């Protein structure tokens, strides 16, 4: 599996990342198998968020790490913070909202450390743009977490280019990524400047929902007509389409099936021809390029 830095001054991740957002739906033995299969396939980076699994996903992942302490040294952990929603586990929350205050960011990061059973997080992301975000408070929280060694790197998720650059202007160190919805079906960020501003700062994006929420492989249509020429599956073609982009996208796969992890990891070996890349885009858009 290819590994590369997501930013020149950022962490080195596996080019394909295992997203653990649905892993609370499987047994502990299957979850352990998903972790081991990922690592055996060269996928060393795991993506979480504090809210996944009704605030329980990190803890069950952490239970595997507690049972097998040596695993932590073989992986990189990404998690997110900033979203709150009503839950029995969070009785004080009455309405879904965002909270990017210094107090909450630090509390959330420390809670994630406890849940994951680790003493540091490789990358912490602000999960969604917050209309009430005070960038000074975010910067202070990030700086405190960095100095303490609790979080090594920071980034955002779902930020527009102006939102990204605004927050970056308040920091003394770089945001190392923006995790965006990216797939051949959700291709708007390829044209609206989202990827361009990241490339401007030599930053690679992370891609959530790289298979279009499953729609690509469930109803592929004409998108994958060239798959046979590569000896690839539709799943691999969808990932290869993202991997082909010069911004060096890091797709986050979200499967709960070990065999899908193995299949996805092999997508790194599929090198799409430029015309096939545009043929897939044409099929998804339903029209020729202008």
Three state DSSP letters for the chain: CCEEECCCCCCEEECCEEECCCHHHCCHHHHHHHHHHHHHCCCCEEECCCCHHHHCHHHHHHHHHHHCHHHHHHCEEEEEECEECCECCECCCCCCEECCCHHHHHHHHHHHHHHHCCCCEEEEEECCCCCCCCHHHHHHHHHHHHHHCCEEEEEEECCCHHHHHHHHCCCCCCEEEEEEECCCCCCHHHCCCHHHHHHHCCCCCEEECCCHHHHHHHCCCCCCCCHHHHCCCHHHHHHHHHHCCCCCCEEEECCCCHHHHHHHHHHHHCCCCHHHHHHHHHHHHCCCCC
- In a domain? residue 127: yes
Q: Is the pLDDT of residue 139 over 80?
A: yes
Residue 58 has phi, psi (to 5 degrees) of -60, -40
Catalytic residue among 52, 98, 120, 153: 52
Q: 187 near 216, Cβ under 8 Å?
A: no
Write down the pLDDT at residue 55.
92
Give the integer Cα–Cα distance in Å for 179 and 207.
Answer: 6
If one counts the domains in the chain, the total is 1
Give the integer Cα–Cα distance in Å for 233 and 196.
Answer: 29
- In a domain? residue 283: no
In whole angstroms, how far apart are CA 154 and each of 55, 65, 130, 172, 236?
Answer: 21, 23, 16, 12, 29
- In a domain? residue 150: yes
pLDDT tens digits along 189-226: 999 999 999 999 999 999 999 998 767 666 566 788 88
CATH of the domain at 106: 3.20.20.100
pLDDT tens digits along 86-95: 998 899 999 9
Q: Is the pTM of this model over 0.85?
A: yes
Closest by CA position to 184, among listed 240, 261, 113, 101? 240
Exposure class string for 228-244: b at 16+ Cβ within 10 A, else e:
eebebbebbbbbbbbbb
Write down the pLDDT at residue 219.
58
- In a domain? residue 234: no
Is 170 annotated as catalytic? no
Q: What is the mean pLDDT of residues 19-25?
A: 94
Determine the length of the chain: 290
- In a domain? residue 282: no
Confidence band of 52 (pLDDT split at 50, 70, 90)? very high
- In a domain? residue 236: no
- In a domain? residue 67: yes
Q: 88 near 59, Cβ under 8 Å?
A: no
- In a domain? residue 232: no
pLDDT tens digits along 63-115: 999 999 999 999 999 999 999 999 988 999 999 999 999 999 999 999 999 99
Domain limits for position 95: 3-221+245-270
């Amino acid at each position: 599996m290819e590994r590369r830095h997501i930013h020149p001054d950022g962490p080195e991740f596996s080019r394909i990342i295992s997203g653990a957002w649905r892993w609370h739906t499987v047994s502990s033995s299957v979850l352990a198998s998903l972790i081991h299969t990922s690592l055996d396939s060269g996928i060393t980076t795991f993506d979480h968020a504090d809210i996944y699994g009704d605030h329980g996903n990190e803890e069950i992942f952490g239970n595997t790490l507690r049972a097998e302490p040596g695993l932590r040294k073989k992986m990189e952990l990404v998690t997110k913070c900033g979203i709150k929603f009503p839950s029995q586990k969070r009785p004080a929350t009455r309405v879904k909202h965002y909270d990017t205050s210094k107090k909450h960011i630090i509390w959330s990061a420390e809670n994630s450390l406890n849940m994951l059973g680790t003493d540091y997080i490789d990358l912490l992301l602000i999960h969604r743009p917050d209309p009430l975000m005070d960038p000074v408070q975010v910067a202070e929280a990030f700086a405190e977490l960095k100095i303490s060694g609790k979080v090594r790197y920071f980034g955002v998720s779902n930020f527009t280019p102006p939102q990204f650059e605004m927050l970056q202007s308040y920091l003394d160190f770089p945001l190392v990524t923006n995790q965006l919805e990216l797939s051949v079906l959700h291709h708007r960020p390829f044209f609206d400047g989202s990827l361009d501003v990241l490339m401007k700062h030599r930053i690679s994006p992370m891609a959530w929902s790289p298979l279009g929420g499953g729609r690509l492989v469930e109803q592929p249509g004409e998108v994958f007509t060239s798959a046979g020429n590569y000896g690839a599956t539709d799943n691999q073609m969808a990932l290869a389409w993202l991997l082909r982009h010069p911004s060096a996208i890091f797709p986050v796969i979200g499967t709960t099936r070990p065999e899908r992890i193995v299949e996805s990891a092999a997508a790194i070996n599929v090198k799409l021809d430029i015309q096939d890349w545009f043929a897939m885009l044409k099929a998804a858009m339903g029209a020729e390029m202008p």
